[in-house]
Amino acid sequence: SDAPFNHVDFAPTSLGLCGIDIPDWMDGTDYSSHIIPDRPSLEKEPTSAYIQQCVRKRFQSVNRTWRGVRTNDGWKYVCLEGQPLVLFDLNEDPYETLNLAFLDTHNEKREELQAELKGWIDRTGDEFPLPEL
């Protein structure tokens, strides 16, 4: 599946696999229907996963907090605290070697993914400051 599974999906998927109802307060998506075929499918699967590093880590190449989205059609968009943002087409560049964020040909995609990221930040109550485009 191309479903954008993320860490917050482990708990609801585990509960779904056990046949336990997912509490309304729980974030994440129950992907148990991808594993057990007779389970009802999701009405609408998420089109992206919210990715983040919330705590600065020592001895890491990126020692800053960041937020981003990874879409199920193969795009990755990341905003790093106090750094230029990055945009990758993972279908064409799976090793993330060419940052497309500031190419005029990708302005529309950057704006689309900025809006998607803002939606995730708003829905999760995150206070990460997004850069102005």
How far is it, in rounded angstroms, from Cα 26 to Cα 9? 10
- Amino acid identity of 73? D
CB 111, CB 119: distance < 8 Å = no
Query: Quick one: pLDDT at residue 92?
Result: 97
At residue 76, the pLDDT reads: 94
Q: Could you tell me if 87 and 64 lie in one domain?
A: yes
Span between the terminal Cα atoms of the chain, in Å = 33
Residue numbers of the chain with a pLDDT score lower than 50: none
Determine the pLDDT at residue 83. 79
> What is the per-residue pLDDT for 48?
77
Q: Assess if residue 24 is contained within a domain.
A: yes
Q: What residue numbers bound the domain in which 102 lies? A: 48-124
Predicted TM-score (pTM) of this structure: 0.72
pLDDT for res 113: 95
What CATH number is attached to the domain comprising 59?
A: 3.30.1120.10
Q: d(Cα 117, Cα 13) in Å, to the nearest integer?
A: 23
Residues 71 and 10 in one domain: no
Shared domain for 13 and 29, answered yes or no, is: yes
